Structure 1
Amino acid sequence: MLRGKYFRNSLALILVISSIPGLIVGGVIYGIAGGWLEQALLQLHKSQIVQRASNVDDQFAYMETSLAHWAFDPKFNSNLYETLFYRDFEIARDITKTLNVMQGSTPLAKNVELYLSGPQSTRFHPEYDAVTDKAVEAMYQDIFTHDNMAFWMQLAADPTDLQKQSLALVHKIPGVDTHPFGAVIVRINEDKAANLLTTLTPYNVGETFVMQSDGNMLLTSSKNSDSASFNEVLKQEVVSRGGREGSFLFDYNKNMYTVSYGTLQRIGTEWMYVSASPISAITEPVDFVSKLILSASAAALLLALILSWYASRKIYSPVRRLVALLNGHQTITNSAAEHHDEFTLIEKQWVHLSRESNLLQSKLEEQLEHVREGFLLQLIQGFLYSYSEEDLRERMRGYGWEVDGKQFIVMHVQLTGLANLEGRFTQGDEGLITFAAANMVEELSSSRLSQADVINFHDLSLGLLIMLPSEEEYKEALYELSSDIVNGINKILKLQVSIIISKPATAIDQIPSFYEEAKQASGYRNFVSENQIMDLESIDTAKETNEQRYPFALEREIVQAIRTGQQPEAEALITSFLDALLERGAKEMEVQQSMLQLLFSIFHAIRQLGMDPNQLFGTANMYEQFTSLREPDKMLGWFSHKIIRPFVRELEARSDVQLKKVVETAKIYLQQRYMQEISLDTCADYTGMNAVALSKAFKQVTGINFIDYLTELRMDKAKELLRDTEHKINDIAVQVGYQHSYFNRIFKKHTGFTPSQYRDMHRI
């Protein structure tokens, strides 16, 4: 009993000591750190206001930048001044679509409209409407009194109610014209703006508003009357203090508020934001947490004392009973004296029982069916290569197989068509499906063959090891069994089946290599969702592979569509790419190799655009992911969701995406018309940019100027014609857009050889 009393005392002491730090920490936090933490929270609150104000500023800056980009859109050019929209309804419809896209891409926009001042004042809201009301026309004409091309102003929220004003962002058009005749107007959605301003009150209480430097209120987070009076008093206090930013404590109706204000630089004006939060909302959690820690520590101490007393009475009782049980119900005192203590006795008896248990377990496992399955799995995967033929036969005899005088045939069963079941199975059900198929194959094979064992790989594939007498003809029976398997799986699981029958093996150690050959041969199946039975003894896979032409033209179109961010076109072209392979009778292995080559080309194009695929797609091995796909629909879905869509999202997120699209459009234009007379001005007209802007953009994106790119393009085509055709040099000069004399001079300057010398050199 002395040892039991010592155990209880030690346990109680440990529990008491473990509770003391909690009490000390709670007291320190509550008594000492409360004031310091309160000040730290106030400072943190001020920092949060500044950071969130920066986020608000970014939202409005994004709207200004987006509107500036749209204002330079070629749709809003000088031709709109003379357009008769009631006749040119296609132009009107195009403008309406553009305005809807602009509104959808601007989160804070209530609506986006276009006003055109001309012989007939017109507005798109977003639908076409002629302005006949003089008061409405005067409201819009007031826009042109501003000197800036883009600015913020108060504008009637609805032309039918000119008294109600709302905040609007205006950009005159055309953006490059010094005499604009129209304007794109984005009206702010006050509810969304209020929600945005609410982020400046981190604790969901308080008020936030935005005003001009002269005190004119622009936006507020709340519209009720109490908030309006509070905002008015607070606004006067901020104006009286002056300065561009600051913070102070403000007492209003016996409540203390912490107030922070600062400036937001907007085009054409300067705004000031003011955020006020009750100080109690900031400091209240400190008091609550401190009291909670102190209370919890005290409760934990009390609970520890109670539990230590209770545990000391109960914890020793199981030890006493266990020692008595292991020692044949002798007294604990005698056992402890013989073995020094109870735990030495428990350890000795446990080792003895474990040894006997392991011996019995080994004998039992030899009789279990899953041991046979494990042996087959190791055998067929080649893990038993170190065993001799006689050792393998001896082990299989021990497991109950008859292996003497037998020939061994393995069948590889591959299930396909999972993506076409339309919800019958989902991703992740492969193990369940394979288990069901394995049961079906086992039942069918046992009804036809005396020795046939199924190996379940849990990945929509199965192995079947068949043992037949050495001289027995087996092909007819195996074909009938294969047909039964195909029909059964088609009918019940609605999946297609590919079965590959290996050559017969006379030795057990040949089984792994023969199965691997059958598994590899599955790559030569037709890459369509259909049932297929292949006998490796009657076909030669090497003769089955026909050279397939790789669709390079489609690859170039796919890469071009991806480079320009055309997601639907890229997805459609990849579908055409796969269809082209399948129409030519490509096998599964050939399809995978071609699609992997396409994936490599796409990654190369992504790197040329200055992006890192590892950052874009993460550290996942995309090639390894793709090689696990075995069905066309899954391949197309993988390309769409894993490659194209993430890249297009990243491309559109970049600030220079529009610029690159214009340059890519110009490059396509040059590649299609290099044989004609082309100038920078004609290309600029085609892309909708002015010549100076296009030249600068071309240099920035490609690294070379416009004329050098066109010259290189023509020279590359001329070299190709000189190498691969017998056309006259005069004709080649015309085909690449040059006069004969000038062509000779510029070709020699570019390559160092005359066209004739270049042709002769490459012929040699």
Structure 2
Amino acid sequence: MFKGRFYRNSLILILLISSIPGIIVGGILYGMTGGWLEHALLQLHTSQILQRASNIDDQFTYLETSLAHWAFDTKFNSQLYETNFYQDFEIARDLTKTLNVMQGSTPLAKQVELFLKGTQYIRFYPEYDVISNEDMIASYNQFLSQDNLVFWTTLSDDASHLDKKDLTLVHKIPGVDMHPFGALFIRINEEKATNLLKTLTPYNVGETFMMQNGGDVLLASSKDPQSVVFDEALKAEVLQRGGKSGSFLYESHKNMYTVSYGTFRRVGTEWMYVSASPISVITKPVDFISKLILSVSFAALLLAVLLSWFASRKIYSPVDRLVTLLTGSRPLTGSIGEQHDEFKLIEKEWLDLWRESTTLQNKLEAQLPHVKEGFLLQLVQGFLSAYSEDDLRERMRNYGWVVDECQFIVMHIQLTGFANLEGRFGQGDESLVTFAAANIIEELSTNRLEQVNGINFHDLSMGLLIMLPPHMSYTTEVHELSDEIIQSINRILKLNVSICIGKPSTAIRQIPSHYEEAKQALSYRSFKNENQIIDLNSLEPEEDMAELHYPFVLEREIVQMIRTGQQHEAMDLIKSFLDALLERGAKEIEAQQGMLQLLGSILHAIRHLGMDPNRVFRSVNLYDQLGQIREPQKMLHWFQHKIMNPYIQELESRSDVHWKKAVETAMVYLQNHYMKEISLDSCADHVGVNSVALSKSFKQITGTNFIDYLTELRMEKAKELLRDTEQKINDVAVQVGYQHSYFNRIFKKHVGVTPSHYREMSRNMHS
């Protein structure tokens, strides 16, 4: 139902009055609780990270301070260097107690140990122990050789677990001596240190790790494979950004993390902590509040819309009844301004109706030629035979033809010589050429005749339907039109034209049969590419028509060339065959029948050669294809590409297989009879082929000629007998098919040494 400007204005006004306050309040609340509160939570999270990082720093600072205090204790003075702990066992006991006290007073300590380098290598762990393991001694000596008095390192638990290392604080003793002979070690409890590190993720969700400046991870909150991959990616990002502290947002697997990192200054080095927490966990309270505000605001807005709609309909109901009377139930069209002004409806409706009528009339006039052509196409092809004469006349009147008291004349036009258009048009452009010719014919015919329509078949053929007064003589006019069409197409398109003028009729129902007669009559045109006009109304039967001379001799020669696979000679003979058909003025139908008969003979010969034409030509209907061709050059082109090329390809593939089998048979024969007197002729007789052809195929397939292959085979057998048997050289020569004197010469020629020398060389190599 139409709603105009008044309705929309009233609805918008009520919506604004009821909705603006709620939108403003909701927007302010959402902005405050959403953006500001979210920012405040992120700032609070960052502050917590800094505070907890400071706490961790304090723990490690306390550890370093405590160890430094103990290192300067008098218990760890230079007297320990000369102490014999077997005799002074009380000193050893005091040291053990001291180490236990140190471990107990340090929350992060896993183990406190003492290493002394004197007359013996001694370790308190915390009990007294003499070190005998060379790897362990080398490890401790390495620590003593460092320049720093106090430093952090990683230390393996024992010699059997070198891959498992603890984070360890080392302080050389005595602390006041420039030449220390021992060191205190505090191994960090990894579990406690990890729990302390986890305080950097306040929501128990996320990842935290601590690393050296070089990127080596010292501690990590989790060691599962997923966390390790995430930590490595995060570590690379932090190292790429640089700086000693900072924070940024990081996205991984569609999750956004807030990342904070900073630096711990330790004795002799610097550590960096990295903490990553999902933003979704931090802002979870904000998300809930935001969704709640949006839901309440949306519900209030929906209620305001419903109330506004109800109120505006009540206000607009009198105007709506008036608009309905003017427009009915039709939807309104036109500009936006016209749709919003109810008082211009009457003027608008009249103008719209006038424009619609004009548009439909223009569309009908534009489409009428295509509709008329489609009707004529159905008419001449006999698809409207179910209609009566009156129905056909009525339909033609509706299309704008004057069909009362008219005679109807049909013309069929065929273009030939398309194969000679080299460079201008290519294969597949027949439809384009036909379209151009149809435009030329239609322009020429409409200039001469009042009622004439063309039919484009898009296959180098066209039709014309001419409507003339019943008693008007059409012969002169139609013949002049035909001559003009031929001359124009010859000049513009360089094509030849054959035109058949059908018999006149006064009934529309006779048009299909008359057009079919004209179409069939063109098959009696001369098959040569020349211009021709056939008028069925004045055509007289040729009683003394000469019988077609069929060139049987050429047919036999063509079949013989095909059997022997001589492609070029066969095509030359096919051209001579077609010329022989045309030299006595053969009609189109006669030339087609002659070429179809030749095609049958060729297919018969191919089948006699053991080939299946259906397989060779891929089950294509060759007779149907040939029957559609109306030009000599196209026929020759078709025979070349559709008959000869596929046949020669099949023949060559079969020939290759045949000769390959023949050569393989010959090679087997030579391997079994090399010791006998063998010639190329005897081998060819055994295989059953011509000796010359066998020699040629043997060379092509094996890469060597027949004699060289036989000689090489005999030489290999001779070398085998000379190496593996004690037969005389005369006997070896006989066994490989040679006389002794000739065997020596040919063996030396191919091997490079005499048979006796070769046997001697072989024995020396084996010995």
* TM-score scaled by length of structure 1: 0.40
* TM-score scaled by length of structure 2: 0.40
